[in-house]
Structure 1
Amino acid sequence: MTTVDRLAPEMKAVLERLLSEDGVQPDPTLLPPAEGRALAEASNQRWNVDGPVMAKQLIVETADGRRAHVFIPACDRGQQAILYIHGGGWSFCSAATHDGAARWLAQETGAAVVTFDYRLAPEHPYPAGLEDCLAVWSQRDAILPGRAWSVSGDSAGANLALAMMLRLEGRDLPRAGLLFYGVYDADFESPSYRAIADGPGLTRDKMRRYWDYYTGTQADRMSDPCLTPANAPDEMLAGLPPLYLNAAEIDPLCTDSERLAARLHRLGRRDRFDLIKGVIHGFMQMSLWLPQSADAYHRAGQAFRNMTETPLPTT
């Protein structure tokens, strides 16, 4: 069975519609960074239309001049907030490209969601983006006071969210983490990297270029847990707050999530992991057209409530 044959009918229909509307698009990782970012911004705007309507949206400027975008759903009870870190290979996308994602997450979790822009590679390589995430985290109570905070992210944003939790080293940790099809390792010979090397969507070569943007050719990719959290020491992973992870089946990064979830389980943790069949990397951006995307946010919302409203030990 080919990779295309494994796509869910709904996923295949979305890809056909995108091809019909946009034609064959250039690989953004082969363009100058500014051009690649412009392409990512333009192609993601469609996902911000006609999404969940918020009770309130506002922009809060932090003490150090950052702009935090705050999404408060009608079902908000004023108790929980989530810092959401956007994906894009550490190099592309923004709070604007993930406006729709933030609203879906807010609606399904019943929590306020806060997004922001962080410095992007290659102009600002590791650890610049991670330092920005930590800076916003340290100012979260000034952005939206009086709440219990969790963290979430997709793809490279999930990597940054998990790296942030590891960097905090047990101090000032989030209540919970929601991690969507994340980058947790740099093993380009993993089963999913080999099976889905040529996409559709994300490819192995694109991921190699994203890693080179973010870290250059650093030899410590595999030894620095804030770059490849899957390789963090047991005690660091055991000390994380409760996590929810998902993975897209047709995704070079699928094995990253599967291996991390398995390792967390071996440590005796009770983190939930969902494998979403028949969809590609980035599918949660596609909620307007793809039912699996809306369902994934619903699953994440259920997991979030289980982790934060009825606290459970992770061991």
Structure 2
Amino acid sequence: MTTRSLAPKAAAAFGILLLAGAAQAQNYFVPGSYVSETGVGNDWDPPTAPQMVETAPESNIFDLDFTLTGVTEGQGFAFKILNTPDNTAPAWGQPEITPQDVPFDADADFDMTIRLDRNTYTDGYFPTTNRVAILDDYTTWTAIGNFQTQLGSASDFNNSFLGTAMTETTPGVYALTTAIPTAGSYAWRAVKTGTFNGVGTDGRSGNAANMTFNTFEDNQEVTFEMNTNIGAIRFLTEAVLAGDTNNNGLVEFDDFTPIRDNFLTSTSLRANGDLTGNGFVDIADFREWKNAFSGPPEMIQMALAQLQSVPEPSSLALIGLATAFLGGSRRRAG
């Protein structure tokens, strides 16, 4: 299956914007309910909390390695990360990288790593910055959202529904590929199966923010992915052809019809003419169809005339349409 991300993809080498100076000017301490089980401090006590260590100079990636003692596999804990200025003792009231408690479980060998990545990415995963990962703790993940009843669940946002259980595809990466019966606007996030501890667009917590997405046709195949190595999620869908509103792999005059019928109205559906995904059918959608359409110029002129007959279109819209059409005509003439 050919897929694309709903966020721009970039190679890691080109998809990172470093937070200049942030790593050198700050320290990161991790108070939480696990600290007393490490033997280095007291639970939820910033002055005795362990400090993260930068993995490489100026990498803006920080690790905290520790071993839990006297606990059982799967036992739950939580923490926060404090952003502490140099030469300042960690204390509540300092900036929190994780405003909500971050839950995690003891893994099988009780050797744990918490990782904070302060870089900003454009790799298609969310959150895009301040990613927090707990390596090797949760091994069962479920994609939850407002589409689950369509797949047979008794309710949406069902954290125990086997039909949306995610499978480990590569070490630390869990995914679910399925078809959503009805095209529409949806929301999802990844959670530890049976709980609401998980990862959303704002990072990892017990109540993470949902990721919103659209499907453009009935029974469209989608992929939900949770990458525990970086603490981030993404959504992938079947590739769609520019200008193709009915997603049949061709750009035809029929693809213009929903643009005309819904011109200057709000919709989030590609099938209704929103090719650009901005929630509104406008000049940009017409331009995308026009540039992809390989039919005779006369048909584009006919489409423009039909748009001009839409009841009470704004003068700005008509000016934009004329500009878009004439611009395309000049390119063909040249």
- Shorter-chain TM range is under 0.3
Q: Structure 1 or 2: larger helix share?
A: 1
TM-score, normalising length: structure 1: 0.26
Q: Structure 1 or 2: larger strand share?
A: 2
Structure exhibiting the larger radius of gyration computed from Cα positions: 2
TM-score, normalising length: structure 2: 0.24
